Amino acid sequence: MQNYIKNPYEIEKRSFEIITEELGEKTFPEDIGKVVKRVIHTTADFQFADITIINEGAIDRAKKAILDGKNIYTDTKMALSGINKRRLAEYGGKVLNFVSDDDVAKKAKEEGITRSIVAMRKAVEENPDGIFVIGNAPTALFELIKQINEGKARPSLVVGVPVGFVGAAESKEELLKVDVPYILTRGRKGGSNVAAAIINAILYMID
């Protein structure tokens, strides 16, 4: 068996070196580059360098929100699991997900809609200017956009990276039209792991 790197820090360091090398002449402003490279590190998919869109000021506003102790609301338990909760807690914030709450399940069944929609409504009611992280459910992103357009939500950041074939690309195109800080991936690609990677990249930028 050939020698291989065993130290986790060295593995990550070398991974990012390889990503930078393979990106070649494709470069980004420093903070944006950290987000894009961590997504590529998570997925091993260099297409994210072309489809990741970050609007002006989004990262700085996200950092401020984290430092102010804002909570993060996710559309899935998987995204919640992937976010560095210990690091977030250092600034007073928590990661929350309401999809499995009994009241959410009951309301979704009564209205014949997804639990992701109801969970997003509950998150907005609890904290309209929180950080919203959507990596799986386009219905959650559509609902959040509706809440923003109605003046009920004023997100500090929206991470909109739902994955899939029904509504995922369309929901992200709608997010592009909204005047809020956002980070999104155009098209079908995304996922809870991508959503968590984006938040972690921002957390790791804060000293």
pLDDT digits (tens, 9 = 90+) for 20-67: 999 999 999 999 999 999 999 999 999 999 999 999 999 999 999 999
Long-range Cβ pairs for the range 3-8 (8 Å, 24+) = none
pLDDT digits (tens, 9 = 90+) for 101-146: 999 999 999 999 999 999 999 999 999 999 999 999 999 999 999 9
Question: Which domains does the chain carry?
Answer: 51-205 (3.40.50.10230)
Strands (E), 29-144: 52-54, 72-74, 95-96, 131-134
By DSSP bridging, strand 72-74 and strand 95-96 are parallel
Query: Would you call 41 a catalytic residue per the annotation?
Result: yes
> Any bridge partners for residue 159, and if so which?
133, 183
pLDDT digits (tens, 9 = 90+) for 169-191: 999 999 999 999 999 999 999 99
Measured distance CA(125)–CA(137) in Å, rounded? 19
At 4, give phi and psi (nearest 5°).
-145, 160
pTM for the model: 0.95
Catalytic residue selected from 28, 31, 41, 64 = 41
Q: In one letter, which amino acid is 18?
A: I
